[in-house]
A = this chain, B = another copy of it.
Amino acid sequence: MKLQAALIEKSNKPRVVILGGGFAGIELAKALRNATVQVVLIDRQNFHTFQPLLYQVATAGIEPSSIIYPFRKIFEDQPDFFFRMADALCVDTAKQILETSIGYIQYDFLVIATGATTNFYGNSEIQAKAIPIKSIEDALALRNTILTNFEKALQIKDETQLNSLMDFVIVGGGPTGVELAGALSELRKHVFPKDYPELNFVNMDIHLIQSGPQLLKGMSNEAADKAKTILERAGIKLWLNCRVKSYDGLKVQLDTGESLCTRTLIWAAGVTGAVVDGLPDGALTGGNRLRVDAYNRVNGFPNIFAVGDIAAMVTKENPEGFAMMAQPAIQQGKWLGQNIRRLLEKKELQPFRYKDQGSMATIGRNKAVADLKIFGHTYKTQGFKAWFIWMFVHLISLIGFRNRLIVFINWMWSYFTYDTGIRLIIGRKKENTPVEHMTEKTVV
């Protein structure tokens, strides 16, 4: 074991170490502003990611810098706040020390807000060959891969090989899968044929595979049905009640016996808790999440909390914990901030109360579905109105006026020109089976 400690100046206030700067982590850190604690935020990136718009980065609609925001900027003037870019390695609950890649960090209160990671359900072959979409790097790799595929397709005449480059298979019919399928179909309709006039985009198939009978699980039947109709009208091939059995980089084997051929399998099929080592196995529950009580306390530890996707707060209404989405994370982060203040003032903790504001998904130009909860009433809307509300809500949720302005310009630009600006190949891409052997042998 290493002996050095991370250099973070101790104050005479108790130290709250927050592990992870997603929605829950930053809301908690903000809520602790001017509380009598020292806040140390740990993340392996130096920026917060607005995950709901990752799919737009992947489909060349917006710049990565518009949906990510440096932590140091968010907390620039927050007193007794420290950010450290580091990987968490292990918690020593007896000594109250977190081991990280930059050394040991002692804590008085530890809040685990590590979120979730892509769930490949133990299939290492799929993990190696498919493209997840959970981080900004994933989104950029997907963007690079999509564009590189078409550049390569220009050199291919063999129809099967051509289809393997031009076809896309998305696994997972949740919001990410649905939104990605919608965005790809918009590109197929308005953008790619202009960029690649030599390719025939009638040949570009977009498949969306969903294990259950319905899309957008958790939303209303009306939303799910409308989403299905919109996707089908856009020419997306839907595979309901269907699962992927294997993928070798080229052939997607379905459990129905059928198979699809693609070099680009996009994996949006599920997430699993991103656990840190050192907590007892008994703290975990289904989905690799930490079981927490109504105060977000991890079972058995009075000074360790978990918030957001990693926390499973099991209630009568939510026997599996809250959905692994932004809203519960944001609200738990804020709530825990208040509870830690109560704790310090030796007041009674308040059990978390979730205020469901509903959910929505956008599927394409002028098209979205929304189940809104307003003053306890559910208001369901689909089509243009839902799309407008979706845009408004996502725009105001971004951090920083500059980001809002730039995303707004990009959206307006795309809307009026039927174009997207960021079709750039920079950095990492996914290379499956090489295509060199497929090049035509004739001399032109």
A residues sitting closer than 8 Å to B (CB atoms) are: 3-10, 45-47, 63-65, 68, 70, 72-73, 76, 82, 84-85, 102-104, 106, 136-137, 140, 147, 151, 154-157, 194-196, 198, 400, 402-403, 405-406, 409-410, 413, 419, 421-428, 439-444
Are B72 and A195 in contact, with the CB atoms below 8 A? yes
Q: Can you give 15 contacting A-B residue pairs, CB < 8 Å?
A: A3-B443, A4-B440, A5-B442, A7-B154, A46-B424, A47-B424, A64-B424, A70-B424, A73-B195, A73-B421, A84-B151, A85-B151, A103-B439, A137-B426, A140-B427
> CB within 8 A of A154: which of B3, B84, B422?
B84
Question: A325: shortest Cβ distance to chain B, in Å?
Answer: 24
A46 neighbours in B (Cβ, 8 Å): 147, 151, 423-425
Residue of B nearest to A414 (CB): B402
Find chain B residues with CB under 8 A from A443 CB: 3-5, 104
Q: Report the minimum CB–CB distance from A437 to chain B (whole Å).
A: 10
A225 to chain B, nearest CB (A): 37
Q: Given the known A-B contacts A5-B444, A444-B6, are A102 and B155 also in contact in the complex, defined by CB atoms under 8 Å?
A: yes
The one of B65, B85, B444 that contacts A10, using a Cβ cutoff of 8 Å: B444
User: Contacts of A7 on B, CB cut-off 8 Å?
Assistant: 154-157, 440, 444
Given A46-B423, A73-B195, 4 more contacts at CB 8 Å?
Answer: A6-B444, A7-B440, A47-B425, A402-B413
Q: Is the CB of A439 within 8 A of B65?
A: no
- As for how many copies of this chain the complex holds, the number is 2
Q: Which of B64, B82, B84, B151 contacts A426 (CB 8 A)?
A: B64
B402 touches A421 (CB 8 A): yes
Q: Separation in Å of the A163 CB from the closest CB of chain B?
A: 16
Asked if B439 and A68 sit within 8 Å, CB to CB, the answer is: no
Question: Would B413 and A4 count as touching, CB distance under 8 A?
Answer: no
Q: How far is the CB of A154 from chain B (nearest CB, A)?
A: 6
A97: nearest residue on chain B (CB-CB)? Answer: B443
Q: Known contacts being A46-B424, A198-B9, A425-B45, is A439 close to B102, with CB within 8 Å?
A: yes
Task: Tell me whether A195 and B76 are in contact (CB under 8 A).
Answer: yes
Report chain B residues within 8 Å CB of A137.
426-427
Give, as a whole number of angstroms, the nearest-CB distance from A426 to chain B. 6
**A85 contact set on B, CB distance < 8 A:** 151, 425
A194 partner residues in chain B, CB cutoff 8 A: 72, 76
Ranked nearest first, the 10 interchain pairs of A and B with the lowest CB-CB distance are: A5-B444, A72-B195, A5-B443, A85-B151, A70-B423, A4-B439, A46-B425, A63-B63, A65-B422, A63-B65
Q: Provide the bound-state CA to CA distance between A3 and B421, in Å.
A: 37
CA of A351 to CA of B176 in the docked complex: distance in angstroms? 58
The smallest beta-carbon distance between A155 and chain B, in angstroms, is 5
A45 to B103 CA separation, bound complex (whole angstroms): 40
Name the CB-closest residue of B to A412: B402
CA gap between A10 and B7 in the complex, in Å? 65
